[in-house]
Amino acid sequence: MKENRLFSPMAQAIRDAYKSGQEDETLEPIVLTDKKGNPIGRLKNGDYVIFYDIRGEREIELSQSLIDKNFNHFPVEKDLEINLVTMIEYHPDLKTKVAFPPLGETKDTLSEVLSKHGINQVKISESEKAIHVSYFFNGKRIKAFPGENTIVIPSPSNIKNYNEKPEMSIEKVSKTAIAQLKDKKYDFFLVNFANVDVVGHIEDEKAVQKAVEAVDFYMGKVVKEALNSGITVIVTADHGTVEEWLYPEGTINTGHTKNPVPFILIDPLYDSKEEIILEREGNLIDVAPTILSLFNIPKPESMTGKNLILNNSPILKKRNRILLLILDGWGLREEKHGNMIAKANTPNFDYFWKNYPSTKLNASGESVGMPAGTVGNSEAGHLHLGAGRIIYSDRLRIDKAIEDGSFFQNKTLLRAMNKARDSNKSLHLMGIVSFYSSHGTIKHLFALLKMVKNLNLKNVYIHSFLGRRGERPESGAIYIEKVENEVKKLGVGKVVSVIGRYWALDREENWDRIEKTYKMLVYGEGKHIFEL
């Protein structure tokens, strides 16, 4: 059945922005106004806000600006009381109500087991991926384990977009890693190269190729130093990205992929690829048990992943020092069309893949606790690399709750909606508008709108964040039309503001971006369009 489309001034304004050179990710704020030019649906004292995003780390800063009484990064309305409800817990220190509280941190992760056995560990990344090598890799634990240290190299901050510097801070990350490898202080090293994933989300072919080649170049330097220091190296990735950078018809795909990722075991004691036999394929959850086996440490019962080294391999001596090198976003795909990794010059990766034991790991869908058929992402990838077992995602929990109907009886969501109605305050639904984003899905917004309709709320306003990662060009306008069609069908709600996720979902303390979003939400600053 064909969708009954309606003329949407908001979607038209987004398309006009496209014509002026803007795109979804960095879309400047657009605000709906009445006939007199007054912004509609601004956040006011006592209002209720449901932030329905489901990832967390990029949602913290905006949440802080709305509810933190000691917030001082830019001027805010100190007397503005907002009742904020989040779909999941973004941070335990945020004073919010949480609809789907955490099930608790994952115990017996790789880092915890290594710590219990007295193995000192250091994790090195640039700030773009700092939370992934610590919080997510450690099973969503904030506090470091005894003997664990994380070194964060600042990502470039004096640029608007990473296509201006696709090398990012990889040289400093590599120099820091090499210095730590030479030192005898640590026994386990985790190094993340962020470039392929981060730059792969940008529509700039030359920048993507530079990012891939930078990762290959510095991978060669770090692995060489590790081998010289007698350190066993495992090279892998958390998910794929630029190996499928084009859709079949040639449109750029800036999102993640469903493709497997590499696993390469580079051991200074074994020169021949045939000396160590690996499983023909595996999953990300198999990396942690394999590392434990190399350290000759029994894996805990809670780790359901397997050792990727087959029993018919030679008996390996206990390894005293191991490097896990994560090439963030580096997927495997045989087809050359749109494959930016195949197109780039990658002599180091090619050599290691050909001459050392290697296999492919599943890094998407059900193998990383996501719904079947969905792409991988950095959060799920690092979580499963460290956990050694499948951890069901918040998205899967919420999707199942919608399917079985328990979502519509969620006490936290119902309480906020009922209080907004009974106190004659507005309810604001805020979050990403997408089918594929790791931050959330349009399905969750639609479920919230159905709840609102059943409770007979009147003043319901939608604030949408756009970001084309894994989406077709100009998808933002299409999604806004879908939301407005759903609003019309249900007879409740109104899309009153739209902004690119670049401004709303920051995690690097770029407070000028968050301020732009805050001013849109509270003051209605942005491009004004008239309500029909």
**Per-residue confidence band for 272, with pLDDT thresholds at 50, 70 and 90:** low
How far apart, in whole angstroms, are the C-alpha atoms of residue 310 and residue 297? 16
**Per-residue confidence band for 1, with pLDDT thresholds at 50, 70 and 90:** very low
Give percent of the chain above pLDDT 70: 95
Helix, strand, or coil (residue 383)? helix
Per-residue pLDDT of 298-329, as tens digits, reads 999 999 999 999 876 665 677 899 999 999 99
Of the candidates 137, 131, 150, the one whose C-alpha atom is nearest the C-alpha of residue 111 is 137
Per-residue pLDDT of 436-480, as tens digits, reads 666 778 899 999 999 999 998 989 999 999 976 556 667 888 899
| Structure confidence at residue 2 (pLDDT) | 44
**Per-residue confidence band for 387, with pLDDT thresholds at 50, 70 and 90:** very high
How far apart, in whole angstroms, are the C-alpha atoms of residue 244 and residue 207? 16
Per-residue pLDDT of 472-508, as tens digits, reads 667 888 899 999 999 999 999 999 999 999 999 998 8
How far apart, in whole angstroms, are the C-alpha atoms of residue 173 and residue 218? 9
Averaged pLDDT for residues 117-141: 95
| Structure confidence at residue 366 (pLDDT) | 92
DSSP summary character for residue 169: T
Phi then psi for residue 220, to 5 deg, are -60, -45
Highest mean pLDDT among 16-30, 228-242, 456-470: 228-242
| Structure confidence at residue 248 (pLDDT) | 83
Phi then psi for residue 468, to 5 deg, are -90, 85
| Structure confidence at residue 4 (pLDDT) | 47
Residue 6: pLDDT above 60? no
Q: Is there a contact between 467 and 440 (Cβ–Cβ < 8 Å)?
A: no
Per-residue pLDDT of 508-523, as tens digits, reads 899 999 999 999 999 9
Of the candidates 463, 451, 443, the one whose C-alpha atom is nearest the C-alpha of residue 504 is 463
**Per-residue confidence band for 19, with pLDDT thresholds at 50, 70 and 90:** very high
Averaged pLDDT for residues 92-101: 92
How far apart, in whole angstroms, are the C-alpha atoms of residue 245 and residue 339? 6
Of the candidates 126, 123, 71, the one whose C-alpha atom is nearest the C-alpha of residue 93 is 71
Q: Kindly state the greatest CA–CA separation across the chain.
A: 79
Domains contained in the chain, CATH given = 9-101+396-530 (3.40.1450.10), 110-390 (3.40.720.10)
Of the candidates 297, 236, 299, the one whose C-alpha atom is nearest the C-alpha of residue 266 is 236
| Structure confidence at residue 237 (pLDDT) | 98
Residue 3: pLDDT above 50? no
